[in-house]
Amino acid sequence: MLRPVHSSRGNAPQRQRGVVLFIALIVLVAMTLAGIALVRSVDTSNVIAGNLAFRQSATHSGDAGIEAAITWLSANNTGSTLFNGDSANGYVAFRQDPAIDPNTGLTETWDHFWTTSLAAASPSSIVTLSTDTSGNTVSYIIHRLCAANGDPNATATACVTNLNQSNVQGSSKGAGVIALQGSTQVYYRITARIAGPKNTVSYVQSIILM
């Protein structure tokens, strides 16, 4: 008696369909991960672009502090008015700089120096302007680049100055040397700190000769 022979080829399509489903799941997971990575990359780029925009806006707002300081210096650059400091108007008649750590030899940041020394002084010589339309608040301080208060022509004051060449020709003067005769101009350093939205903090400095 002959028995029918059963062929196993009927199971092949089922095995193939199972492999295709497995591959499709792997591809779906890979595409999902790629989509998540793309979204995070776009978000990061937007955050970086936004931070740069805030920083640029803060830097531009710093010009207001620089101009306000120059205006005050120009109005008071007569007689002995600038020989001594004026804390109410943000003016210090001698130089102040961030400290250097004797152990590491590193200089402290301007932000640390500003908050722990300049702003903490009593009275503080920092002037703060009204918040502008961009949401930035500008503060500034003026330092005369001298070792001490007093007449910039005095040797003990040790000011960094530049002689007016219209009165004296072929001469120069540096800090701590014997004063030369002639009209001198003194260097001033203006430092502006800008605090803006999203904790943005920026500093702008300008050296002027007056």
- Give the mean pLDDT of the chain: 80
Q: If you search the block for the tokens 């701590």, which residue do you land on?
A: 176
pLDDT bracket for residue 196 (50, 70, 90): confident
User: Which amino acid is residue 76, in one-letter code?
Assistant: N
pLDDT reported for residue 182: 54
Give the residue-averaged pLDDT of 132-150.
93
157 pLDDT higher than 80: yes
* CB half-sphere exposure, 98, CA atoms < 13 A: 14
Give, as one character, the DSSP assignment of residue 11. G
Cβ–Cβ under 8 Å, residues 129 and 139 = yes
Is residue 110 pLDDT above 70, yes or no? yes
Please state which of the ranges 22-31, 36-45, 122-131, 174-183 shows the lowest mean pLDDT.
174-183
Show the tokens assigned to 38: 């793309």
Q: Read off the tokens for 167.
A: 């009165």
* Cβ 60 vs Cβ 198: under 8 Å: no
C-beta neighbour count of 132 within 10 angstroms = 15
- Residue 164: per-residue pLDDT: 41
Tell whether the model's pLDDT for residue 91 goes beyond 80: yes
* 93 vs 19: which has the higher pLDDT: 93
State the pLDDT confidence band at 167, using cuts at 50, 70 and 90: very low
Average pLDDT over residues 153-161: 89
pLDDT at position 112 is 93
The torsion angle over the Cα atoms of residues 110, 113, 115 and 121, rounded to 10 degrees, is: -140
First to last CA, the chain: 123
| CB of 152 closer than 8 Å to CB of 80 | no
